[in-house]
Structure 1
Amino acid sequence: MANYGRSVLNGGSGASADRLDFTAAPAADNADAISDFGAGDRVGLASAIFAVGPSLEAGEFVAGTAAADADDRILYDAGTGRLLYDADGDGAGAAVPFALVAPGTAITSGSFQVI
């Protein structure tokens, strides 16, 4: 479980699927590193922190560096591996990093679970 401050999250060895939960508000200086995110793993987003629906819909996820519309909440920059939360989509507020995976990791809206 990710909490306040920078952490390195590791799901452990083996082929089991892991869920790495984010339950603290993201801030520019507390992004957590996920060292071994792989197929079947999920990022758990606390519904009290991340303003997304009961599940992260494809329209709330952007594979890119900026929100394209007001509904975009989770951004994934595959070039850097940064996962960002954007509370107001394409509004004036800046997206805030909350996690870092290896650049190029395969991540889609299906990689997230609202908890």
Structure 2
Amino acid sequence: DKVVTSMSHALAAGSQVEVLATTNPSGTTAINLTGNEFAQTIKGNAGANVINGGRGADTLTGNGGNDAFVFKTALGAGNIDRITDFNKLQDKIHIDDAVFAGLKLGGLTSDAFFVGKAAHDSSDHIIYNSLTGALSFDSDGIGGAAQTQFATLSPGISITAASFFVT
């Protein structure tokens, strides 16, 4: 099933919808689109959208504009979203402090972000693997806890801590 909307829309729990999209991909009205526990493809428009996949392995597309991709559900192997068009100059990734425990509210500090396969010190909590595009959270940096992937971006983009906002 497919839901096409010209205004903000959140899928109800239990709604087995495969696609949630805007009626006009080139429109510039800011729209909030939120998925549910199932895997969806969610497509915004050219405006400043807020896109939240919810639970499930979702495919998220902002379609231009200053988009915010929201991550605020429990992390796990079945909840890894793919962001198809992340633009570090326009878009932000919003991460919830209740899920991403230990991060300070506001902009992600540069010492909490690392580009590589794994954390290289105890302050690294958000890790971007530029070879695979995997974006992971590590609650204790190089401690005993394993990192957990929560998203996939395009490989090789020059993402920095400035691309993240902790809510």
Q: TM-score, normalised by structure 1?
A: 0.92
CA deviation after TM superposition for structure 1 residue 71, in Å: 1.5
Question: Which ranges of structure 1 fall in alignment gaps of 5 or more residues?
Answer: none
Q: Does the Cα contact within 8 Å between 1:22 and 1:46 map onto a contact in 2?
A: yes
> Which AA in structure 1 matches 2:76?
A
> Which AA in structure 2 matches 1:29?
G
Q: Does the Cα contact within 8 Å between 1:19 and 1:42 map onto a contact in 2?
A: yes
CA deviation after TM superposition for structure 1 residue 28, in Å: 2.5
**Does 2:73 correspond to 1:24?**
yes
Query: 1:37 pairs with 70, 80, 86, which one?
Result: 86
**Corresponding residue number in structure 1 for 2:115:** 63
**Does 2:48 correspond to 1:11?**
no
Identity of aligned residues (%): 38
Where relative contact order (Cα < 8 A, 6+ residues apart) is larger, the structure is: 1
* Cα distance in structure 2, aligned partners of 1:109 and 1:89: 15
**Corresponding residue number in structure 1 for 2:129:** 77
CA deviation after TM superposition for structure 1 residue 37, in Å: 0.4
In the TM superposition, structure 1's runs of 4+ consecutive aligned residues that sit over 3 Å from their partners are none
User: Partner of 2:85: helix, strand, or coil?
Assistant: coil
Total equivalences in the alignment: 113
> Which AA in structure 1 matches 2:61?
N
* Cα distance in structure 1, aligned partners of 2:158 and 2:121: 23
* Cα distance in structure 2, aligned partners of 1:28 and 1:71: 23
Deviations along 1:78-113, one digit per CA (max 9) or x if unpaired, are 110000000111111111100001111221000001
* Cα distance in structure 2, aligned partners of 1:8 and 1:88: 28
Q: TM-score, normalised by structure 2?
A: 0.65
Question: Which ranges of structure 2 fall in alignment gaps of 5 or more residues?
Answer: 1-51
* Cα distance in structure 1, aligned partners of 2:113 and 2:78: 22
> Which AA in structure 2 matches 1:58?
S
* Cα distance in structure 2, aligned partners of 1:21 and 1:2: 7
> Which AA in structure 2 matches 1:11?
G
